[in-house]
Amino acid sequence: MTDTPLWALPATRIAAMVRAGDVTAVAVAEAAMGRLAAANPAINAVVEHRPEDTLAAAEAVDAAIAAGRDPGPLAGVPVTIKVNVDQAGYATTNGLTAQKDLIATSHNPVVAHLLQAGAVPLGRTNTPAFSYRWFTGNLLHGHTHNPRRRDLTPGGSSGGAGAATAAGIGAIGHGTDIAGSVRYPAYACGIHGLRPTIGRIAAHNASGRDRTIGGQIMAVSGPLARSVGDLRLALSAMARAHPRDPWSVAMPLAGPPVARRAALCLRPDGMQTAPELMAELLAAAERLRDAGWQVDEVDALPPIAEAAVIQRTLWMGDGYQAMRAAAEAEGDPGALAALDGQRAFAETIGQAEFSDALVRRFGIASLWAQFTARYPVVLLPPSAELPFADDLDLKSTADYQRVWTAQDVQVGLPVSGLPALTLATGLTGDGTPLGIQIVAGRFREDVALEAAEAIEARGWAVSIAEPQH
């Protein structure tokens, strides 16, 4: 056993202990629910929790072990699930009052695969309305707070997952990412988050309409965790194909050996990176060198700022008026601000501009594929700025633009189709999270994780945040 509370243990340790019979999944679940009760009221990260479902899942894991069956790689690990994916019997709200009664009748494949792997669902985590922002709050579920610093955003749109995981509510958080919604909350909450390659993790909501073009080619599900080992374990459970997601593919989790060579870029496309983040990148590069990697500092990367424009074109050019009408009907201030801030840009997008964006996407993805063939790992900032003040995008037009300008490295990278990982590397003196971003080649999450583990082993260990009321 251990003196560390069960709820605070990493997923790797919990699964090993449950499989070995050192502790029951029910005992882990009870400890996790105790932590949820203690920490969640201050941060409102988990917005729906059914103790009976959590205990039933834990009992099923214990029964499988007692019967001599393999309980799965996540045996007894408490996980949280974002409210924008289907979980049978729960409303897929996506943060909307309009969807409070949209009860899923089946699991999204990513949820099914987590549960089949032995995970124990602890609760549903918050997202901004329509999952539009890098801040998390809505009219239905309320506002989510960052457990490390209440005045900072917890990130978005997987802000509930980031806040919960940072606070020790579950060992692994499920999130989704089309423009940074896994990576940014992980960074803002001082934990780690992995955006996998498109097609690596099957996902599909039977409760709603099929996704628009931008969503189909750039949206993914991915894990958030407090250790890189837990990201690796979560990916092993989540990375499965499913016929309901025709773009999902069954690919090995590990590829052939690559050169241990990384590129470091402090100011992608001339971005005005915060000095604190540049220092973290330089320190991470030294840690990689200590682990035997060659790290070359480069002045330029394949396009990121242009890729961010393509991302916005594919989002805003595919039904902007319908999105605006839905936001008006919902009346959510954050969603309306997110769309109003893009109105002038959206009005410039016609069929030709939309088609051009799809064509240019191929060229940008090709440039990134060629670059990662030369440099299997790329180190770059997670944002131009330290985590934003909460609701900064609602303060003024200038602040809204500031947020979007800072986030090009979140928005642009999905156009490349490559996996990207945000790695927490420490805290400033006032408790503001610091981190870096790691990019690897297509379906080479294993390479990104290897580099992240080397940096983690020589740097800062993520601590559990104690939320303040």
Known catalytic residues are 82, 157, 181
Q: How far apart are CA 320 and CA 338, in angstroms?
A: 12
